[in-house]
Amino acid sequence: MRILITGAAGMLGLDLRQAAMAAGHETVALSRSQLDITDARAVTAAVVAAAPQAVINCAAWTDVDGAETRFADALAINGPGAGNVAAAAAGTGAWTIHVSSDYVFNGRKESPYVESDAVDPIGAYGRSKLQGELDVAAAAGARQTTVRSSWLFGAGGPCFPKTMLRLAGERPALNVVSDQIGCPTFTGHLAQALLTLAQDPVPGVLHVAGAGFCSWYEFATEIVAAAGADCEVSPIATAEYPTPARRPAYSVLESERGAPELPPWRAGLAQFMAERAEVAA
């Protein structure tokens, strides 16, 4: 099938483009420099020119802390920008797949969040992503799938494992927050799920994240161990590591709607480490 990818130079976009091409899909991949999704006319022109059967929007503002001081910029991309993509796709009869976030939840639940749970973002980034969900639904109606995912990491961009690997090489010890729980999700695995949904669409919201869950501390411990780094990782509370943005304490995602299942997050980490080793070699 013919697929248009926005945000194609980002971490998820790069993996999605590679997966789509490997699967034999006719792929039009546009980076932010090639298409600013906040420009509605440019988005419409690009979608009309590509004539895709599915549009997968990977373009997003991802700086969680930065959104606190630059909310207007984050909102423009994650909210109305996403709506522009969905409107243009709907105008040509294409299916929209939009990528959202676990940060639309407040993190107070003590069991996994499912698609029907009430949203209540506690930070600017989460509010911008929720607005995107609303704008996409308003623009595309039933011809859209909104995929909420969690704690993305991959070889193609900045991410938590890369930061931990760098710091573990520079310091003898690291302190990492242990009271925030989520589902680390390898973008290579998520990309495959997005392609599955492009070919067999499911309307509405779906939760698609790495199987299992852990804290940032547990994730960091696994990363350092996988690298064989001589670095001690110790747990700390969120209160000991203040950040501009509040983050959900618990944002584990599960699906009640039969969403594509991803491999365990540890399998994603193993593949991430293998890809880094290939690049280094």
Which residues are catalytic, by number?
A: 125
**For residues 190 and 15, what is the distance between their CA atoms, to the nearest angstrom?**
9
CB 206 within 8 A of CB 255: yes
**C-alpha to C-alpha distances, 138 to 5, 132, 134, 169, 197, nearest whole angstrom:** 20, 10, 6, 47, 20
- Pairwise CA distance, residues 88 & 218, whole Å: 42
- E strand intervals along 121-257: 144-149, 152-153, 173-177, 181-182, 185-186, 204-207, 214-215, 232-236
Nearest Cα residue to 251 out of 76, 123, 38, 103: 103
Classify residue 93 as left (phi > 0), alpha (psi -120 to 50) or beta: left
The torsion angle over the Cα atoms of residues 32, 77, 122 and 233, rounded to 10 degrees, is 10
Closest residue by Cα to residue 148 from 178, 122, 117: 117
Backbone phi, psi, residue 205, to 5° = -90, 135
Element holding 97 (H helix, E strand): strand 95-101
